[in-house]
Amino acid sequence: MSNRFEPRTADDLRALVQEQPLAWIVSGEPGAQHATPLPVQLVCDADGTPRTLLGHFARRNPQVAALAANSRATVLLIGPHGYISPSWVSDRTWGPTWNYASAMFDVDLQFCDTRADADRLLSGLVKQMETNRPAAWQPQEMGARYEKLVTGIIGFEAKILAVRSCFKLGQDERDEVFADILRALDIKDQASLTKWMRRFGESRPAQALAPSQPPPRALDPEIKRFIDNVIAKGRELTAGRDLSWPERREICELTRAPWTKGGPVIADTRNIVAETKAGPVRLRIYDPSPGHSKPTFVFMHGGGWSLFSVNTHDRVMREFAHRGGMAVVGVDYDLSPEVRYPTALNQVIAVVHWLHEQGRAHGLDGERIALGGDSAGGNLSMGAALRLRDAGHPNLVKAVLSIYGGSTPDCSPASRQRYGTEQDMLTANEVDTFWDNYIGHLGDRRDPYVATAYAPLQGLPPVFLVIAECDILAEQNLHMAGRLLEAGVQVQAKVYPGAPHSFIEAVAVSRVANEAVDDGVAFLRSVLLRERGARVHVA
């Protein structure tokens, strides 16, 4: 096989086994062969050299006795693969092919027949398969059933004697053909094969990769100053360390701290704990004019339901309170993955009820409440408005201000490629991680109160969508604007040129961020103060 189809590095083979671990274990002489499909784990040396395959058989499998007599076997693994049709490419003289990744291991297999071996091999396989999954499962959750399972298996360690692998992923195609294939695979939603083709396409010239259509727009220079500073400071503080989620939150607080300084001083700012139907919820209240009746804007910070706090968004909330002449209540909801959906949403809804019933005692108008927030906060705002509507309380919330909020875990291939790269403020991988953190069960990924793109939207209060042009979530927000209009909801939507995800946090230095705050304030006042304003506007 040509060298162009070999793995580029040892990580390619390791990743192939981790992502596609089901392999055929083949042993015996021709005419008397045994073959069993089993998931395997690959163990490599520090330099990445494959050394051992781990796995387990069912004890009653007749191949166990055959391997005990003759320990030589071949392990055959096929990874992502797919037929590539000539109809996808502009050159009709090009012939069909099949792209795939595969590996074949010659091994000497030895059984490991102790309880400790069985526990070790099973836990290792579960860890390999469950890592990064929402609500990752652990073997001890089986309880008594685990004992029956573990006694019915026998583990093995297979010393690798030779490896032959093939990564035929379009390396031999012309640039324009390679680009055509990637576009077609995206359309056909063959994400695994597309991912591996792009992985190997990294070594091709830049023009070989399918370009974004249209190309990404350059970031607004004032916002870029904020983005570059936050990213650089974060990398400096992490220095490549593998951080826990509490440690990541500490880093976020440190990187955002300089950007929360300055700005308006609010007459009365206080932290309280509201005793709600969802339990105690931490709130920060900004009251620009104590003793005077004013609307209440309930703000949920972003951070993928996993990061940030009322501290990271202190400057943003002060700006809304000062410019709008309204009370702002920041909700410091519980974060994922320690808690999962619907805990944070329940807390937001409970805060709305608490404000309606007890807000007056804290100088807050519980009759004129708006919900809003950025990113995950925008999602929580829409979800809470939907839940309140369906629970028979459609009038408790008068308006929703969603600032580049997420509405579905599913980002299109085009949006991921255009504004979800590792150089962007919010990457496609981060979107996946945040949703996996927040969603505890796969079935909840289509729950309309969290994946609001799938919800019926009729009967919602007026909505303003702040859309960052250079954001992986821009596509979702534009789609949501259309659905709201279709549902007869009073909606405004505005796209901010050159703005990436998180741009509202750059309010200290960015004219675009200040424009978005002013627009949000104007919307909230027009609804909450019943000032005359445009009924429907999409810009």
Name the catalytic one among 336, 365, 501, 502.
Answer: 501
Closest among 128, 3, 134 to 55, alpha carbons compared: 128
| Enclosing H/E stretch for 40 | none
Backbone angles phi, psi at 400, to 5 degrees: -130, 125
Whether residue 373 contacts residue 381, with contact meaning beta carbons closer than 8 Å, is answered with yes
Task: Kindly give the interhelix angle for 343-358 and 376-390, rounded to the nearest 10 degrees.
Answer: 60
- Residue 501 is among the residues annotated as catalytic for this protein: yes
Kindly calculate the radius of gyration of the chain based on its CA atoms and give it in whole angstroms: 27
Closest CA to 87 of 187, 5, 169: 187
Buried b / exposed e across 45-79, counting CB within 10 Å, b at 16+? eeeeebebbbbbbeeebebbebbeeebebbbebbb
Both tokens of 66, joined, read: 């055959």
In whole angstroms, what is the distance from residue 375 CA to residue 386 CA?
17
Which residues make Cβ contacts (< 8 Å) with residue 329, sequence separation at least 6? 283, 284, 285, 286, 296, 297, 298, 299, 351, 355, 364
d(CA 429, CA 447): 22
Give the pair of three-digit tokens for residue 326: 């309204």
Q: Which of 309, 471, 502, 510 is catalytic?
A: 471
Residue 122 parent element (H or E): helix 115-130
293 catalytic residue (yes or no): no
Catalytic residue among 27, 102, 165, 375: 375
The length of the chain is: 539
CA–CA dist 124, 389 (Å, integer): 46
471 is catalytic: yes
Pair of tokens at residue 235: 């990398």
Catalytically active residues, by annotation:
375, 471, 501
